[in-house]
Every structure is written in C-alpha cells, then in structure tokens.
C-alpha cells in the first residue's frame, strides 16, 4: 500500500479522520462528525474526494454545520499523510475507507452509519469477507471457560470456520489461539496498537501463512481506551455469521454491553451463550434478551460449525 494506490476518496477520508504520528495540533473528525459530513456530501451529490478541491469545502461546512477552518486545516495535511502511509507500508499495514471496493460489505449492511470510515489491517484482507463465528467473553475467564473456549476454537478449525474475536487477554486470545493451533483461521478486531500486536511472534507466522488477519478502526499505534473497546464490539459481531458469548457479567463490562447491543438490533447476528453450572449469571440473563443456549450438538449445529 503506497499513497499512489490510495483512491482520492480514501485520501480525503484519511486526511479528515486519520491520526498521524507526532501531529496532535489538529483534532481529527470523530466518527459522529464524519457521518454528519458524509450525509451532507450525499445530499449535495458529492464524494469525499470533492473536498480535495478547496472551492467545495465552505459549501460542505455550511451544509454539515462543521467549522470551515477546521476542515481546511485537516485537508491540508498532505505531507503528514504521505509520511504516515510510507511508515504503515513499511510495516505491512494496509488501509481501506468505506468508499473502497474491498471494504467489508457486512459493515455497511449491518452497521449502516456506524460503519467505521477507516480500517487499518495486517494480513490477508479477504478473510474479512468469509464470515465465521464470533467468540467473545471476559478477560478473567475461569479454567472451565478457558478449556471450553479453546475447544470451540479447535472445533472451528476442524470445520474450516473462521474464529472472529477481539484479541484481548482471556476468551478472545484463547479462542483465536485454539483455532490457529489446530491449523484454522482467525480474524482479530483490535481496539488498540495494531502494529504491536502484529509483531508478536505468535502472530507473525500465522499472518505470513494467511491464516490470521488483524484489523482495527483505530490508527495503528492507538492506545487502549474504554470508548474504542466498546466501539470495537459491534465490529466483531458484524463480521460474523453467528456469535458465542463464553462468559459475561450481568449488566457489567464490555462483553455484556456488546451482546446486549447486538441482540437489540432489528436484525441481529444470532447470539449463543455457554450454559452449565459454571457459566456466570450474565450468560443466563442474555437468554432473556433473545440469545440461544449453546451445546456441543445444538449450538454447534445451529451456528453452522458442523
């Protein structure tokens, strides 16, 4: 990925929403503000690339209620963009915007305006389009939950079903490692430091073998925040055909919030939950919201993992 291969739409989106190393003087547009701008562009029958013509900026600023000088300052960061793209390319990082053909249609269809304007990734991007089983749960999972999760990962590998998870400590990493250790495929949707995660020894070989894809809606060196982690949850579900919640606390934490958010959608991804005496209360409470019980026969069969 070099700047030469970025479409003009993607260049404009990156200038508006991108965060570049060493440049904190201008605040990039939030996802909410970008959506406001995108709706204005649609009304005006324009595309992001039209903002590269400075004559159009004032018109779009008026229509979107955004500050003209702020937009102009963001769009003038061409030099920073060039340096950033060169650095990302050197580290094997690719970039997509919503206007690119390879951007996941699952995000546009499932998330609508909540689809992130930019996606950064390392690995075979075709893995984003294969669907699979989203496996989510607590960072502090107990031994029974950990063993269950690892077995699910291996089962997915045996049936050539990708495991999609968040890459965090606990259930996320266990599910992904279970799949990869059995020769399977996994997609990690990260909320922080994509570059650092990609350099881990366990990740490098799987990425090289095209069995692991890491993506993030945050810039490649972003630090963890609760906000980015919560925003990431919907991205995990949206890439999957089905989801499995291994463990969650009732009305507490990101796992509960992500599952509740998904179950309340008009057309949610089917969500399964682990059952049993060792399952936490939150799992049972999700059943009341529309989740389904997972079992080695029923859950596996209904989820498409056969």
Nearest-angstrom CA–CA distance, 175 and 93: 24
In this predicted model, what pLDDT tens digit does every residue of 46-55 receive, in sequence order? 999 999 999 9
Q: Is residue 239 part of a domain?
A: yes
29, with CB counted inside 10 A (0-12, 13-18, 19+), is: buried
Q: Is residue 119 part of a domain?
A: no
| β partners of residue 212 | 186
In this predicted model, what pLDDT tens digit does every residue of 100-156 receive, in sequence order? 999 999 999 999 999 999 999 999 999 999 999 999 998 888 899 999 999 999 999
Q: Please, are residues 222 and 215 in contact by the beta-carbon 8 Å criterion?
A: no
Q: Please, are residues 242 and 133 in contact by the beta-carbon 8 Å criterion?
A: yes
Domain count, the chain: 2
Q: Is the pLDDT of residue 91 over 80?
A: yes
116, with CB counted inside 10 A (0-12, 13-18, 19+), is: buried
Asked whether residue 95 falls in the same domain as residue 130, the answer is: no
Predicted model pTM: 0.93
Asked whether residue 250 falls in the same domain as residue 297, the answer is: yes
Please report the pLDDT score of residue 37 as a whole number. Answer: 97
Question: What mean pLDDT is predicted for residues 208-234?
Answer: 94
Q: Which of the four pLDDT bands, split at 50, 70 and 90, describes residue 25?
A: confident
Residue 263: give the domain boundaries: 125-303
For the chain, what percent of residues have pLDDT higher than 70? Answer: 94
Give the domain CATH number at 147. Answer: 3.40.50.450
Question: What mean pLDDT is predicted for residues 40-69?
Answer: 97
Q: Which of these three, 99, 116, 149, is where a domain ends?
A: 99
Q: Please, are residues 213 and 187 in contact by the beta-carbon 8 Å criterion?
A: yes
Q: Which of the four pLDDT bands, split at 50, 70 and 90, describes residue 1?
A: very low
Please report the pLDDT score of residue 7 as a whole number. Answer: 93
Q: Is the pLDDT of residue 3 over 50?
A: no
- In Å, how far are 133, 283, 295, 302 from 244, measured between CA atoms? 7, 10, 11, 11
Please report the pLDDT score of residue 2 as a whole number. Answer: 42
Q: Which of these three, 84, 99, 114, is where a domain ends?
A: 99
Asked whether residue 93 falls in the same domain as residue 142, the answer is: no
For the chain, what percent of residues have pLDDT higher than 90? Answer: 86
Please report the pLDDT score of residue 4 as a whole number. Answer: 43
Q: Is residue 89 part of a domain?
A: yes
Token couple for 44: 């005006």
Asked whether residue 182 falls in the same domain as residue 253, the answer is: yes
Question: What mean pLDDT is predicted for residues 240-265?
Answer: 96
Question: What's the mean pLDDT when you consider all of the chain?
Answer: 92
Conformation bin of residue 72: beta by default, left when phi > 0, alpha when psi is -120 to 50? alpha
Please report the pLDDT score of residue 305 as a whole number. Answer: 59
Q: Is residue 288 part of a domain?
A: yes
Q: Is the pLDDT of residue 96 over 60?
A: yes
Asked whether residue 152 falls in the same domain as residue 281, the answer is: yes
Please report the pLDDT score of residue 297 as a whole number. Answer: 52
Please report the pLDDT score of residue 145 as a whole number. Answer: 92
Asked whether residue 183 falls in the same domain as residue 271, the answer is: yes
Q: Which of the four pLDDT bands, split at 50, 70 and 90, describes residue 302?
A: low
Q: What is the DSSP string of the chain?
A: --GGGS-HHHHHHHHHH---TT--SSPPPPHHHHHHHHHHHHHTT--GGGGGSGGGHHHHHHHHT--HHHHHHHHT-HHHHHHHHHHHHHTT-EEEETTSTTS-HHHHHHHGGGS-SEEEEES-GGGGGS--EEEE--SS--HHHHHHHHHHHHHHHHTT--EEE---TTHHHHHHHHHHHTT--EEEEESS-HHHHHTSHHHHHHHHTT-EEEEESS-TTPPP-HHHHHHHHHHHHHH-SEEEE---BTTBHHHHHHHHHHHTSSSPPPEEEE-STTS-HHHHHHHTTT-EEE-TTHHHHHHT--
């Amino acid at each position: 990925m070099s700047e030469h291969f970025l479409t003009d739409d993607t260049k404009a989106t990156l200038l508006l929403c991108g965060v570049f190393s060493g440049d904190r003087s201008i605040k990039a547009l939030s996802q909410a503000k970008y959506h406001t701008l995108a709706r204005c562009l649609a009304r005006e029958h324009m595309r992001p690339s039209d903002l590269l013509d400075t004559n159009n900026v004032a018109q779009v600023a008026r229509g979107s209620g955004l500050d003209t000088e702020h937009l102009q300052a963001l769009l003038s960061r061409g030099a920073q963009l060039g340096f950033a793209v060169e650095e990302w390319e050197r580290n094997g990082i690719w970039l997509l915007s919503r206007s690119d053909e390879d951007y996941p249609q699952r995000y546009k269809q499932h998330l609508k305006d909540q689809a992130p304007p930019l996606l950064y990734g390392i690995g075979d991007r075709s893995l984003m389009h294969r669907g699979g089983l989203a496996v989510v749960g607590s960072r502090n999972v107990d031994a029974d939950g950990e063993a269950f999760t690892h077995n699910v990962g291996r089962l997915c590998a045996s049936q050539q079903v990708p495991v999609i998870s968040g890459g965090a400590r606990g259930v996320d990493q266990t599910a992904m490692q279970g799949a990869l250790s059995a020769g399977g495929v996994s997609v990690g949707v990260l909320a922080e430091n994509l570059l650092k995660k990609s350099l881990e020894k366990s990740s490098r070989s799987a990425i090289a073998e095209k069995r692991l894809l890491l993506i993030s809606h945050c810039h490649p060196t972003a630090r963890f925040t609760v906000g980015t982690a919560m925003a990431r949850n919907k991205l995990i579900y949206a890439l999957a055909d089905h989801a499995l919640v291994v463990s969650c606390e009732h009305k507490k934490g990101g796992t509960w919030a992500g599952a509740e958010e998904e179950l309340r959608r008009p057309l949610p991804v089917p969500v399964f939950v682990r059952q049993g005496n060792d399952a936490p209360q939150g799992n049972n409470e999700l059943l009341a919201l529309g989740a389904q019980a997972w079992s080695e026969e029923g859950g596996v069969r209904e989820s498409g993992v056969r």
